[in-house]
Amino acid sequence: MSAPEFDAKMLEALVCPQTKAVLSYDAARQELISKPAGLAFPIRDGIPVMLVDEARVLD
- pTM of the predicted protein model: 0.89
Closest CA to 55 of 25, 5, 37, 6: 37
The DSSP letter of residue 27 is T
- Domain 8-57, what fold? N-terminal domain of TfIIb (2.20.25)
Burial class, 39, CB count within 10 angstroms (exposed 0-12 / middle 13-18 / buried 19+): buried
How many Cα atoms occupy the beta-carbon half-sphere of 29 within 13 Å?
A: 12
The pLDDT value recorded for residue 5 is 85
Instruction: Give domain limits for the chain.
Output: 8-57
pLDDT digits (tens, 9 = 90+) for 6-53: 888 888 899 999 999 999 999 999 999 999 999 999 999 999 999 999
